[in-house]
Amino acid sequence: MNSNKNKRQSSKALTRTEARTLEAIAERIFPKTDTPGAVEAGALDYINLALAGDYAKLLPLYRRGLRAVDRHARRKLGAKFMHLDAEQKDVILADFEAGEVSDFKAAPEFFKTVRYHVFEGVFCEPQYGGNKDMMGWRLVNFPGQQFGYPDPYINERVDLPPIAVDYEAAEED
């Protein structure tokens, strides 16, 4: 069904410029610290694939939203979003979250959508293009698509290496 068709078949939905702005946003939503952030985890690949597939209807919102982010950044802080420092970027994103962007009514919807999609990109099943090397799962200590758990792990860290299922090899009946 559609999950398999959605695999990395298509060209990327976003232009290079759009992708770079989105990358800068994603990195503020789930930043690299002493551990990997959204970009390293592959959130951009996830979103690009999704916008070329199941989320194609949302591409216009992304286009308008990304333009509005740069416009708002220039107007308020005098530079394109990607050239701002981390603190300034957060100010711009907070305006979007709160709906305080005068010429873009859909700002909260755009922010909410991007926030969900970034987290999907960090924590998805790797088949969808994000969560590279199960990096997102390792960060929160989730062992992935385990067949099951023979032990209840009550107040015990689960020490199993994470597993991602190979969909092609998944059993047929």
Partner 1 sequence: MAQSIADVCIVGVGCTGGILAKELSSSGLKVVGFERGPAPKKSDYAPRDSIRFLVRTEQLEWVRHEPTTTRKKAGEAARLQYRTSPLNVLGGALLHWTGQVSRYLPGDFKLYTNEILSGNAERAGADLTGYDIIDWPLSYDDLEPYYERFEWEFGVSGHAGTNPFAGPRKRGYPLPPLRHSARMELFAEACKQLGYHPYDTPAGILSQPYRPPPPFDTRIRERPACVYCGHCNFYGCHVHAKAATLYTTIPVAVETGNFDLRTNCKVFRVNSDSVGRVTGVSYFDPDGQVREQRARVVILCAFMFEHVRLLLLSKTDTGRFAKGLANTSGYVGRNILAHGDVRAMGLFGAFIINGFIGPGSAAMRIDDFNGNNFDHAGLGFIRGGTIGTSGDGTPVTRIDVLPPGVRSWGQEFKEYYTRYYTRTMDLNMQPETLPHKANRVDLDPRHRDRWGLPLPRVTFDFHQNEHRLQKFMAGVGEKIMSATGADKVWTEGKGRPNRWAGGTRMGADPKSSIVNEHCQTHDVPNLFIVGSSVFPTMSGYPPTATIAALSYRTAEYILSQKQWFA
By the rule CB under 8 A, 82 interacts with partner 1: no
By the rule CB under 8 A, 167 interacts with partner 1: yes
By the rule CB under 8 A, 119 interacts with partner 1: yes
Residue showing tokens 């789930």: 30
Q: Is the CB of 82 or the CB of 165 nearer to partner 1?
A: 165
- Give the CA angle between residues 123, 162, 119 to the nearest 5°: 5
Strands (E), the chain: none
> How far apart are CB 157 and partner 1 at their closest, in Å?
6
By the rule CB under 8 A, 110 interacts with partner 1: no
Cα–Cα distance, 54 to 128 (Å, whole number) = 11
Residues 6+ apart with CB under 8 A from 158: 141, 143, 149
Q: Is the CB of 28 or the CB of 72 nearer to partner 1?
A: 28
CA distances from 2 to 6, 90, 128 (A): 6, 36, 11
Q: Is the CB of 16 or the CB of 151 nearer to partner 1?
A: 151
Q: Is the CB of 16 or the CB of 57 nearer to partner 1?
A: 57
> How far apart are CB 38 and partner 1 at their closest, in Å?
9
